[in-house]
Structure 1
Amino acid sequence: MNTTPDSIRHVALSTVRLPLAVPISDAKVFTGRQKPMTEVIFLFAEITTEQGHEGLGFSYSKRAGGPAQYAHAREVAEGLIGHDPSDIAKIYTQLLWAGASVGRSGVATQALAAIDVALHDLKAKRAGLPLAKLLGSHRDSVRTYNTSGGFLNASIEEVKDNATRSLEAGIGGIKIKVGLPDTAEDLRRVAAVREHIGPDVPLMVDANQQWDRTTALRMGRALEEFDLTWIEEPLDAYDVEGHARLTRSLDTPIATGEMLASVAEHERLIDERACDIIQPDCPRVGGITQFTRLLTLADRAGLDLAPHFAMEIHLHLAATYPREPWVEHFDWLDPLFNETLETRDGRMILPERPGLGVTFSDQARAWTTDAVEFGIR
């Protein structure tokens, strides 16, 4: 085994526009706070070392912010050149301080997330191990549920058909969107899906922060009869006190956390026992270095885990959590990679390929809108 210290010689950043097949709407569209989503913007980082090791990582934005992530990353990425790629925490801290004047959360750290993930991917590939195995996994597969078939722009018949296809594809649970101005219509949709999939299939709902405290409590009580696995984001993401009250008041578990942009913001959720299931997003909190800190805090508090989106990253991280977690299945990202994650018997299977186990596709390169390189290729 080569024990000679290695160093980073080349960094490539690219911003990729992923078009969605149909405009996507959740409750934020129906309450007038957002327009239908037509694309997702990704920041990719590709890192190469003197010894020829390579790593791939990404971050993303579903609304405004993608260009800002790319702009911040290209300002600080040159600082990677010459560093030992194993010194991931040291590199993260250096890049964090390079942009300290714009803070330690949000765009500033989401830009670093792509780099941080790429360094972890590289380290696992160099070891010849899947990332989960390098970090220390508890399992070789993770329970998975589908979200991409349950948005509010789809008719209830479409949602039911999508649920059938997901279950036939080996996905274990179904999540649908709620939070319509007409709460009775929400209940009709949930009832229809529950009847369609039967009483034994895990069913989750997601209000995308669109209820006030009174509505959330009333809807939570009305939804109890459907034996939901959880109610997600019933309140504004930063209403910690309101989430804590719901968690104490309802039998159905409360899940939240996906919109929070730092470990510090999640710490308040944890300290206040403001959810039963925590849903951090690795790219949003700043990468794997930060996410693993959060996992320790969540486990110590006895919380369950269901990371948001980015299943290519979160499958590995969820596999390291001591408690049985969930991973969210989205098929939107499939065109970006040459590999597809396998689902079977309600679970997502950890790939045996080294690192994240995915490689950048030609289609992703075709959707690249800007790119920059540092160092020597």
Structure 2
Amino acid sequence: MSDISSNDRIEWLRLSSCYLPLATPISDAKVLTGRQKPMTEIALLFVEVVTRDGHEGLGFSYSKRAGGPGQFAHAKEIAPALLGEDPSDIAKLWNKLCWAGASVGRSGLSTQAIGAFDVALYDLKARRARLPLAKLLGAYRDSVACYNTSGGFLHTPLEQLLVNASASIERGIGGIKLKVGQPDGALDLKRVDAVRRHLGDNVALMVDANQQWDRPTAQRMCRTFEPLRLVWIEEPLDAYDHEGHAALAAAFDTPIATGEMLTSAMEHGDLIRHRAADYLMPDAPRVGGITPYLKIAAQAEQAGLMIAPHFAMELHVHLAATYPTEPWVEHFDWLEPLFNERLEIAGGRMLVPNRPGLGLSLSEQARAWTREQTEVGKRP
């Protein structure tokens, strides 16, 4: 039997810095506490890869409020390290890109820039195999339970909150997440209780405090929310307060969810070792792409945790489909204008696309919102 080897090589990359405007400034508890300003746009880093044999891949990362220019600048510096490399060696190339910029760290902005390359290489591999990304990785299911967040922000008046919740359920979305964390906890309870009464007991309902409670407040609010049969209470404490989250998870029946703000597999490993969550919420672009995400998912499975990836449903529907126990994926339609394709939703679930790779292509609108672009190598 002859050896099988890959002779294909990466020849060309295009990096694009794209800014998605939001129709309405977005406010959560971090705005009410004065720690952040309302969010008005999302910065996207797109990476397009083409090989000598003509195979292509598309990947992306993102940043909210700040960091977009930094991600793009870092990506420009490290991109040449991929030229001439075998696109199949994804883990090896992740390490190469990481060490190319290791002096600024192996988490946070530097690895979030790597994430766009990593996703593009996985997209390329799945397209070349003519498989959806979930099938390439090994799927457990063809659809994933989904919940909506974008209709439940704190700037949304209560009456509109009820309208948004009904519209999401009628569209086929399976659950509703509401933002909480206002200075007056009674207002949080009023809003959540109103939505629970409006939707009834059979609709999945979650809340998210965006890290804005201290430990005594979190204890009180978790106890207050216990009768409302929530699927989870998300980020009741600072993202790095693993001991505090673990105490809440042990004390209350309502599951605790956290993890979206962590920026590496190592940080998630520390959270898991502390038993600080019932639901782990990794964000593949934030942790550096699919390569570290899969390491996190393996640790979560071994620890018996449930999983609900944060944001970026266009990517996470594939990754969630590969988790053994039933996950949730977060429905945000914000990124839809960037792509020509749309995800399908029915019966409370998001369908895994059957197109090769991520099943995405950049729209003309994404090109129009691009502020800066650079090419590396020569397109074959």
TM range (shorter): over 0.9
- Give 1:345's aligned amino acid: G
The CA deviation string for residues 96-128 of structure 1, in whole angstroms up to 9 with x for no partner, is 111010110001100000000000000000000
- Give 1:236's aligned amino acid: D
Cross-structure match for 1:329: 331
CA–CA distance in structure 1, aligned partners of residues 39 and 121 of structure 2: 30
Aligned residues between the structures: 376
Q: CA deviation at 1:293?
A: 0.5
Cross-structure match for 1:136: 138
Cross-structure match for 2:196: 194
Please give the secondary structure, in 2, of the residue aligned with 1:297: helix
CA–CA distance in structure 1, aligned partners of residues 139 and 175 of structure 2: 22
Cross-structure match for 2:186: 184
- Give 1:358's aligned amino acid: L
Please give the secondary structure, in 1, of the residue aligned with 2:139: coil
Following superposition of structure 1 onto structure 2, how do residues 100-249 of structure 1 map, counting pairs within 5 Å?
A: 100-249=102-251
**TM-score, length of structure 2 as denominator length:** 0.98
CA–CA distance in structure 1, aligned partners of residues 340 and 199 of structure 2: 32
Please give the secondary structure, in 2, of the residue aligned with 1:274: coil
CA–CA distance in structure 2, aligned partners of residues 159 and 75 of structure 1: 44
CA–CA distance in structure 2, aligned partners of residues 169 and 117 of structure 1: 29
Match of 1:25 among 24, 27, 31: 27
Cross-structure match for 1:67: 69
Cross-structure match for 1:370: 372
1:349 and 2:351 are equivalent in the alignment: yes
Q: CA deviation at 1:4?
A: 5.2
Cross-structure match for 2:315: 313
- Give 2:332's aligned amino acid: F
Match of 2:95 among 93, 96, 102: 93
- Structure 2: state its 5+ residue gaps: none
Cross-structure match for 2:54: 52
- Give 1:313's aligned amino acid: L
1:270 and 2:282 are equivalent in the alignment: no
The CA deviation string for residues 208-249 of structure 1, in whole angstroms up to 9 with x for no partner, is 000000010100010011100000000000001100000001
CA–CA distance in structure 1, aligned partners of residues 24 and 160 of structure 2: 13
Cross-structure match for 1:252: 254
- Give 1:80's aligned amino acid: L
CA–CA distance in structure 1, aligned partners of residues 104 and 9 of structure 2: 28
CA–CA distance in structure 2, aligned partners of residues 30 and 221 of structure 1: 22
Q: CA deviation at 1:143?
A: 0.3
Please give the secondary structure, in 1, of the residue aligned with 2:122: helix
The CA deviation string for residues 105-159 of structure 1, in whole angstroms up to 9 with x for no partner, is 0011000000000000000000000000000000000000000000001101111
CA–CA distance in structure 2, aligned partners of residues 232 and 115 of structure 1: 30
CA–CA distance in structure 2, aligned partners of residues 3 and 229 of structure 1: 48
CA–CA distance in structure 2, aligned partners of residues 62 and 192 of structure 1: 30
Structure 1 residues 4 and 227: CA distance shift in structure 2, 3 A: closer
Aligned-residue RMSD, C-alpha: 0.9
- Give 1:244's aligned amino acid: A
- Give 1:365's aligned amino acid: R
Q: CA deviation at 1:63?
A: 1.6
CA–CA distance in structure 1, aligned partners of residues 5 and 81 of structure 2: 24
- Give 1:109's aligned amino acid: T
- Give runs of ≥4 in structure 1 deviating > 3 Å: none
Please give the secondary structure, in 1, of the residue aligned with 2:233: strand
8 Å CA contact retained: 2:6, 2:86: no
CA–CA distance in structure 1, aligned partners of residues 56 and 166 of structure 2: 39
8 Å CA contact retained: 2:148, 2:331: yes
CA–CA distance in structure 2, aligned partners of residues 84 and 357 of structure 1: 22
Q: CA deviation at 1:3?
A: 6.8
CA–CA distance in structure 2, aligned partners of residues 77 and 333 of structure 1: 25
Please give the secondary structure, in 2, of the residue aligned with 1:90: helix
CA–CA distance in structure 2, aligned partners of residues 339 and 189 of structure 1: 34
8 Å CA contact retained: 2:16, 2:370: yes
Cross-structure match for 1:7: 9
Q: CA deviation at 1:83?
A: 0.6
- Structure 1: state its 5+ residue gaps: none
Please give the secondary structure, in 1, of the residue aligned with 2:58: strand
1:38 and 2:40 are equivalent in the alignment: yes
CA–CA distance in structure 2, aligned partners of residues 280 and 300 of structure 1: 15
CA–CA distance in structure 2, aligned partners of residues 141 and 61 of structure 1: 27
Match of 1:280 among 282, 297, 316: 282
Please give the secondary structure, in 1, of the residue aligned with 2:178: strand
**TM-score, length of structure 1 as denominator length:** 0.99
Cross-structure match for 1:76: 78
CA–CA distance in structure 2, aligned partners of residues 136 and 147 of structure 1: 28
CA–CA distance in structure 1, aligned partners of residues 45 and 331 of structure 2: 20
Q: CA deviation at 1:5?
A: 1.8
- Give 2:25's aligned amino acid: P
